[in-house]
Amino acid sequence: MTIAAPPVPHVPDAATIRRAHAAIARHGVVRETPLWKLPGASLGVNCAEVWLKLEHLQAGGSFKARGMLNRLLAGPLSPAGVVVASGGNAGIATAVAARALGTRCEVFVPSVSSPAKQERLRALGAHVVVAGDAYADALAACLARQQETGALLTHAYDQPEVVAGAGTLALEIEVQGGVPDSVLVSVGGGGLIGGVASWFAGRSRVIALEPGLAPTLHAALASGGPVDVSVGGVASDSLGARRIGDIAWQVAQRHVAQSLLLADDAIRAAQHWLWRELRLAVEPAAALPLAALQAGAYVPRGDERVCLIVCGANVDPSSLA
């Protein structure tokens, strides 16, 4: 008996991302976030320009609002509403989209999810269930709940509509400022880099950045395919997936130029630098691109235009003091 190979997951192309951009723009939920161009020297970096895509100013405090709204619009919505497993940001984004569309939202979070993110979820009207110690545990409980209720399942990073929605961020960068020479992207499950690298394919050098304590893509590249990894560290509530998503894996093999790991100390130092010097209150996951530059993990050319995606702001402000 011959067992058929599993289908290759849908990888978004430019046309798919353009359609997602048009769909989410019609609902007034997703914001066009600023693109801030600074001389490299002002950030202590030897390059022509550093572009900061201030996506932490997005609805719900992260880029995930784009993909989650696109997913809900694809539907069909169930009377039971929508259900998602999340370290926090995908849940918040789903709750924002669900509230805008007038449907119920249930979010399963692991115990490592920050209290600030859980509080935000409840304020948005979501029903929050704490399930297990890691994202994988919350996902298992979420899938069981979806089978029980028939609610629409929104995946934090590994659905075509979610990845295409994330790609609208890259489209927006190009509209606002052109095509950068390189784009530095934080990676957890890979929804963001899947969308960004699909849009900039062959035109920008896309660099994947992960905490050394949560190396999902880095481990997959070393192993020749997605594998489970242990996760921990300062960014585990946002970048806490145990395995890279199938869509991101397909995209990364073709369009990601380099995968780099960063120490927690460097991530935290960059996070505090952004607050101290630029008054940008962001979570650790959003600081990885700057950490890569300031710690010397990524060394740009002198004439390079480097784009940093500042991806999320769901942080307890007291942690920045």
Distance CA 288, CA 264 (A): 9
Residue 8 scores a pLDDT above 80:
no
Residue 19: pLDDT over 50: yes
The predicted pLDDT at position 1 comes to 37
What is the Cα–Cα distance from 127 to 122, expressed in whole angstroms? 7
Per-residue pLDDT, 11: 85
Is the pLDDT at 137 greater than 60? The verdict is yes
Under the banding of pLDDT at 50, 70 and 90, the label for residue 286 is very high
Strands (E), the chain: 35-39, 49-53, 82-85, 105-109, 127-130, 152-154, 182-186, 205-211, 256-262, 305-309
Whether residue 35 has pLDDT greater than 90: yes
Which band of pLDDT confidence, cut at 50, 70 and 90, is reported for residue 234?
A: confident
Q: What is the mean pLDDT of the chain?
A: 92
Instruction: Quote the radius of gyration of the chain (alpha carbons, Å).
Output: 18
Q: Give the tens place of pLDDT for each residue, 153-164.
A: 998 899 999 999
pLDDT of residue 9: 57
Cβ atoms of 182 and 236 closer than 8 Å = no
The pLDDT assigned to 18 comes to 97
Cβ-contact 165, 22 below 8 angstroms: no
Average pLDDT over residues 130-136: 86
Q: For residue 87, is pLDDT > 70? A: yes
What's the CA angle centered on 100, arms 240 and 85, to 5 degrees?
20
Comparing 31 with 236, the larger pLDDT belongs to 31
With a cut of 70, say whether residue 283 has pLDDT above it: yes
| pLDDT for res 5 | 41
Residue 307 pLDDT greater than 90, yes or no? yes
Number of Cβ atoms within 10 Å of the Cβ of 67 = 35
6 has a pLDDT exceeding 80? no
Low-confidence winner among 57-71, 109-123, 194-208 (lowest mean pLDDT): 109-123
Write down all domains in the chain, each with its CATH number in brackets: 14-63+160-320 (3.40.50.1100), 64-154 (3.40.50.1100)
The whole-number pLDDT of residue 214 equals 93
For residue 3, the model assigns a pLDDT of: 44
